[in-house]
Amino acid sequence: MRRARFALRGASALLLAATAACSFTAGFDGFVGPGAGDGGGDDRNGDGSQNLAGDETGADGGGDSNRDSGAELDGPDPNVPPVFVDAGTSFCPTPESATTFCEDFDTADLTARWLREGVFGKLTSYASRSAPNVFLLDVPPTTTGGTFVSKITRAFDTSATSVVLSFDIKPERVYLGSSFFILGALEWARGEDKYSLRLVYSNGSVRLEESNLVPPPNNKDAYHPFFALPEGKWTRLTLDIVASGATPGAQLLLDGIAVGTREPLAPTVGIDPRPTLILGAVFAGNPHTGWTLRYDDVMLTFR
């Protein structure tokens, strides 16, 4: 298993990150996916959702039934279809709490709970964190620039600006020089006043960023310290967030261990308190080497 870690690469990386982050001011919904001629398209079902199961064929795969093994397999295989199981047999508790959203990708296709955009993400039963399924984002290299979206989105009607978000993530193919992209976010963006809190990969490291989703020159963006995210292994990433009140802030934890100190936040005043959870990638910028990310066992707790 490779144990390489994303690391900050000096002042040049910081400059690139700051430049890159400005390109995300429009937020996840500010980008459109590639057209059909670019190998993209939205391929939506008639009900306005999308089927991530795919129609590819391949050998059956049981995934990794041991959550703690972190076994490194040969590589991502998007052709292994998902296997759906009865509720209560995987990570998420049954019944689900009224104050907790849980998604282990095991009991139903994504179309039952998520809105999908883009063509690079899908469910597979190959190399999951908790068997049988995992959400796989496998973005191929490109020699051209431009923007695209490949994400899944879940909007909630519960009002909550104090939340805990946690999920397992395994970056398998993210190289230095692969430019920058958002790999996950919580947004309060259903009203006129908007606020986005996102995790951004940039030139070998990851950081928390804030935005009021307003184009320059009226944008109010804030960038927090970089942290290392292991490559080639599963990591439990947790964000304990308070996005309102007198002392808004966020604490990052990796595998239950706090990273740095609690970061102060500056949420936009007057936001609609109903959050939206986004997983996947938004990319904008230069040619890149592609990347592979796996997500599993997502929990969002409202307080």
pLDDT of residue 6: 40
Check: CB of residue 169 under 8 Å from CB of residue 234: yes
Answer whether residue 272 is part of any domain: yes
| Least confident among 14-28, 142-156, 216-230 | 14-28
In order of 27, 70, 110, 161, the CA distances from 274 in angstroms are 17, 34, 21, 8
Q: Please compute the mean of the pLDDT values over residues 287-300 and round it to a whole number.
A: 89
Token pair listed for 3:
């144990």
Answer whether residue 51 is part of any domain: no
Residue 148 pLDDT grade (very low, low, confident, very high; cuts 50, 70, 90): confident
Bridge partners, residue 263, by sequence: 250
pLDDT of residue 75: 54
Q: What percent of the chain has pLDDT over 90?
A: 49
Token pair listed for 45:
């079902």
Does the bond joining 217 to the residue before it have cis omega, within 30 degrees of 0? Answer: yes
Burial 168-204 (b: 16+ CB within 10 A, else e): bbbbbbbeeebbbbbbbbbbbbeeeebbbbbbbbbbb
Higher pLDDT, 176 or 113: 113
Check: CB of residue 139 under 8 Å from CB of residue 291: yes
Q: Which of 42-46, 54-58, 280-284, 295-299 has the highest mean pLDDT?
A: 295-299
Residue 277 pLDDT grade (very low, low, confident, very high; cuts 50, 70, 90): very high
Answer whether residue 56 is part of any domain: no
pLDDT of residue 37: 31
Give the 3-state secondary structure of residue 242: strand
Nearest to 206 by CA among 220, 226, 186, 235: 226
Q: Is 49 exposed, middle or buried (0-12, 13-18, 19+ CB in 10 A)?
A: middle
Q: How many CA atoms lie within 13 A of 291 on its CB side?
A: 28
Number of domains in the chain: 1
Answer whether residue 55 is part of any domain: no
Residue 234 pLDDT grade (very low, low, confident, very high; cuts 50, 70, 90): very high
Answer whether residue 58 is part of any domain: no
Answer whether residue 160 is part of any domain: yes
Check: CB of residue 144 under 8 Å from CB of residue 257: no
Tell me, what CATH number does 39's domain have?
A: 2.60.120.200
Answer whether residue 172 is part of any domain: yes
Domain that holds residue 158: 10-45+63-302
**For residue 31, is pLDDT > 90?**
no
**For residue 35, is pLDDT > 70?**
no
**Contacts with 226 (C-beta within 8 Å, 6 or more apart), sequence order:** 8, 17, 202, 205, 206, 207
**For residue 139, which phi and psi values (nearest 5 degrees)?**
-100, 120
Token pair listed for 126:
């190959």
DSSP state of 207: E
Higher pLDDT, 123 or 13: 123
In order of 43, 94, 261, 296, 303, the CA distances from 182 in angstroms are 22, 31, 22, 17, 25
**Contacts with 64 (C-beta within 8 Å, 6 or more apart), sequence order:** 71, 127, 128, 129, 131
Answer whether residue 30 is part of any domain: yes
**For residue 162, is pLDDT > 70?**
yes
Residue 222 pLDDT grade (very low, low, confident, very high; cuts 50, 70, 90): very high
| Least confident among 19-28, 263-272, 279-288 | 19-28
